Amino acid sequence: MSDPTFLVSGAGGKFGRIVVERLLAEQAGKAIAGSRDPARLADLAAKGAETRRVDFDDPASLDAAFRGVDRLLIVSTDALGVPGLRIRQHRAAVDAAARAGVGHVVYTSMPRPEPGSLIPFAPDHYETEQALLKSGLAHTILRNSWYAENLLMSLPQVLASGKWFSAAGEGRVAHVARADAAAAAAEALVSTPGGRLDVTGPELLTIREIAATAADVFAKPVEVVPVSDAELVAGLAAAGVPAAIAALIVAFDANTRAGGADVRSDAVEKLTGAPPRRLREVLAANRRALAAA
């Protein structure tokens, strides 16, 4: 049999780019990098990837984009500002994959997106999972834990003030390094395990444990200050955080407190052959950038 043809959507982003680079390095088959703006893919083309315009907002164009593709990675889009838009984008991609006869679809979901999740965008992921189940397409759903790199957005302020205001309580999260999750996605394309896999880091940590790790890595004291959801919203508003972003931050804390992110698995190591990085390693690798911030 000939080597498979892979297509990675969202290849202009951080996650998709890592997936394409890993596929190229492994020479597992033909790698196609897809983006709504193929001009952003010049570096991947220089490394040997074919590039195609893949725009989930233009469903008619997806038939050509997916032609000849054996295995497709649908990287969930970042269209969070318009209610219902992201699920329309994802459904367009699933429908086009079915029309094109794609052999296997891999989709990047989130932890526990079922109804009842406190994360506002959880329904987008749940409905996409349901669309895949109903499509008849062979597929693998990767429920990626929250990226460890997401912490880097709030850590500069936390380190500067020495205080971490949190409504997460004693909830736990197994943050995963983005590169580890992307490597797992690449290997899921190659091996097509099927079903649903939780993709997490190796440690389930509370906010206090995360803060203690950060304090140790950066040699700065960090005190976790427990607050209610309402107090956190008020504090974020006073700090000038836009209301929509503040609501999302509080939702993440509330979801963690309720156990919505309390998931740990060995999927990264099983797929890639290498253990996922601990949070300490991710923070240490970004020490210089955070210190500058």
Q: What is the pLDDT of residues 125-163, one digit of tens each?
A: 999 999 999 999 999 999 999 999 999 999 999 999 999
DSSP state of 149: G
Q: How many CA atoms lie within 13 A of 249 on its CB side?
A: 25
pLDDT digits (tens, 9 = 90+) for 228-248: 999 999 999 999 999 999 999
pLDDT at position 2, please?
Answer: 77
Its pTM stands at 0.95
> Cβ contacts of residue 283 below 8 Å, gap of 6+?
148, 151, 155, 213, 214, 217, 218, 290
Q: Do domains 5-144 and 145-176+201-262+277-293 have the same CATH topology?
A: no
pLDDT tier, 293 (very low <50, low <70, confident <90, very high otherwise):
low
Which architecture characterizes domain 5-144 according to CATH? 3-Layer(aba) Sandwich (3.40)
Does the pLDDT value for residue 292 go beyond 70? no
> Is the Cβ–Cβ distance between 214 and 222 less than 8 Å?
yes
pLDDT at position 86, please?
Answer: 95
* Pairing mode of beta strands 139-144, 5-8: unpaired
d(CA 194, CA 206): 31
73 in helix, strand or coil? strand
Look at 27-36, 74-83, 126-135 and tell me which has the smallest mean pLDDT: 74-83
CB atoms within 10 A of CB 279: 24
Which architecture characterizes domain 145-176+201-262+277-293 according to CATH? Alpha-Beta Complex (3.90)
Amino acid at 284: A
Domain ranges of the chain: 5-144, 145-176+201-262+277-293
> CA–CA distance from 9 to each of 97, 149, 181, 270 (Å)?
12, 21, 15, 24
pLDDT tier, 19 (very low <50, low <70, confident <90, very high otherwise):
very high
DSSP state of 96: H
- The pair of structure tokens assigned to 134 is 């109903």
pLDDT at position 80, please?
Answer: 87
Does the pLDDT value for residue 194 go beyond 80? yes
pLDDT at position 1, please?
Answer: 55
Mean pLDDT, the chain, integer: 96
d(CA 8, CA 20): 7
Does the pLDDT value for residue 95 go beyond 80? yes
Determine what percent of the chain is predicted with pLDDT higher than 70.
99
